[in-house]
Amino acid sequence: MAAHGLLFNTEEFLSKFWHKVTQSAVGLLGSGARKQTAALTKSLALGLGANYIIDAYLSYRDFKFEEERLKLFFEPEIAAKLGKTADSVTADDLNALGRDNPAIGEALTRNKKTAWVGFGANVLALTAAVVATTAILASASTFMIILGSVAIGFPIFWAVDKAFEWVGKKVTGLDEPSLKEVSRNPSLQHELSVPSQIHYLENLRNHRQTISQEQVFTLFVKANPDLAAAVESRYGGAFAALADDKRAQAIMEMGPRFDLENITQDLNHRLIRVQELAFISSGRQSGVQKLETPHATELERLKSELVAANQQIGAMAKEHAGHLKDKVHEGAQTLKEKGQDAIAAAKEKLHIGKPAAENPVPEEPQNTMQQTAAPEPQPEPMMSRPPQPVLGPQTEMVAKRRQQQVIQL
């Protein structure tokens, strides 16, 4: 209700302001352009009113969108704290918890300030652009008014909008580096608000980066003014401004008060959610149960199943490869044995009808004319020959040739 009342008061103020501006503009213009200026002023006034309504709606829509995003971001913690199921958590539950939790309350406050700064910047920029365009082009033709609105109105609108937005963020404390800038330069983390630091650490973990004790302690210092004052009093400066050795000493001496080492390990092992820091930083607990084993989230479970399936596929492939190797070896051995049997059978067929080992078939002598150094062969003595076995056709031919050689000698 307060927001709607402020919106109506703003509209009333701008309406009166615009009325004064148009009166002054009409008074300054020549008498010949009074009617055209009045018509132009009415048209611009209607256009401004419509644009104010649109800007108010867009700012309210952005505000509700960010509120819904915060609700989803802290949904398990809200459900555990209020004893509800995650599906039944509403934006009202988020706002109720924000009144008790400093970190969540700061996130909601910053969201409201951002909506009002954006709306105010748009209203002032649009008003300035219209007033300037009207004052300059009041007596111009319709075409020149349209052309001048583009050439003059848009640059004025952009310049005023950016300037007021920058001033508004400075005044309301909304100015801080973006998460992308902090990712490139982690030393800027201390300039982030507590909700933004929680988002920053969540981004680190989502990108498989390790969260350090210094990063968690920086968030604790930002969320706890008493801790920040104690660090400054003991070590002679703000924590972010201390030298590396001083910061390490502060973490070593003051970290155990917050169980800093175990909290950091639990974050890196995914035993607790980063959102839990919104409660731990103020000495509270959300009630979300700590996971018993690391990597127990749904994503890690799926990853473990994929790794196990991959290992199983590899083992099956190795097993099938071993079986295939054994089969190939057995087949080669079988072929080898069959080949040896075939060779043996062929040899046995070739040796059918050959004389016994004690009567080998003599080899044909070489030509004696080519062997000058060889002695002359002596004739064999005539003696009775033992009975010969029955020979095959080839063996008989060899025997006859042998007899002829003997006769010639």
Task: Provide the pLDDT for residue 298.
Answer: 58
Q: Given the structure tokens 């950091």, which residue do they identify?
A: 264
What are the residue ranges of helices labelled H in 188-259?
194-206, 213-223, 225-235, 244-254
pLDDT confidence tier of residue 7, bands split at 50, 70 and 90: very low
Is-contact 251 264, C-beta < 8 A? no
What are the residue ranges of helices labelled H in 74-141?
75-82, 91-98, 102-137
Task: Provide the pLDDT for residue 378.
Answer: 54
* CB-neighbour burial class of residue 97 (10 A; exposed 0-12, middle 13-18, buried 19+): buried
Task: Provide the pLDDT for residue 319.
Answer: 72
If phi over 0 gives left and psi between -120 and 50 gives alpha, with beta otherwise, what is residue 32? alpha
Distance CA 82, CA 94 (A): 10
Q: Is the pLDDT of residue 262 over 80?
A: yes
pLDDT confidence tier of residue 38, bands split at 50, 70 and 90: low
Which CB contacts under 8 angstroms, 24+ apart, belong to 359-366? 361/395, 361/398, 362/402, 364/401, 365/405
pLDDT confidence tier of residue 299, bands split at 50, 70 and 90: low
Is-contact 201 274, C-beta < 8 A? yes
> How many CA atoms lie within 13 Å of 141's alpha carbon, on the beta-carbon side?
2
The helix-helix angle for 102-137 and 194-206 (nearest 10°) equals 100
Task: Provide the pLDDT for residue 392.
Answer: 54
> Which has the minimum average pLDDT: 246-255, 258-267, 372-381?
372-381
User: Where is mean pLDDT largest: 181-190, 348-357, 383-392, 399-408?
Assistant: 181-190
Task: Provide the pLDDT for residue 177.
Answer: 87
Q: Is the pLDDT of residue 44 over 90?
A: no
Q: How many helices (H) and strands (E) does the chain have?
A: 16, 0
Q: Is the pLDDT of residue 63 over 60?
A: yes
Element (H, E) at 145: helix 142-148
pLDDT confidence tier of residue 372, bands split at 50, 70 and 90: very low
Distance CA 86, CA 53 (A): 35
Cβ neighbours of 57 (radius 10 Å): 11
Mean pLDDT of the chain: 75
Locate 170 and state its tokens.
């400075």
User: Where is mean pLDDT largest: 49-58, 150-159, 272-281, 321-330?
Assistant: 272-281
Distance CA 217, CA 261 (A): 10
Ranges of each domain in the chain: 9-175, 181-280, 303-332
> Which has the minimum average pLDDT: 192-206, 281-295, 364-378?
364-378
Q: Is the pLDDT of residue 357 over 90?
A: no
**Mean pLDDT to the nearest integer, 18-29:** 45
Task: Provide the pLDDT for residue 351.
Answer: 63
* CB-neighbour burial class of residue 198 (10 A; exposed 0-12, middle 13-18, buried 19+): buried
Task: Provide the pLDDT for residue 200.
Answer: 94
Q: Is the pLDDT of residue 268 over 70?
A: yes
Write b or e for each residue in 135-166: b if 16 or more Cβ atoms lie within 10 A of its Cβ, otherwise e: eebbebeeeebeebbeebbeebbeebbeebbe
User: Where is mean pLDDT largest: 34-48, 224-238, 294-308, 310-324?
Assistant: 224-238
pLDDT confidence tier of residue 53, bands split at 50, 70 and 90: confident
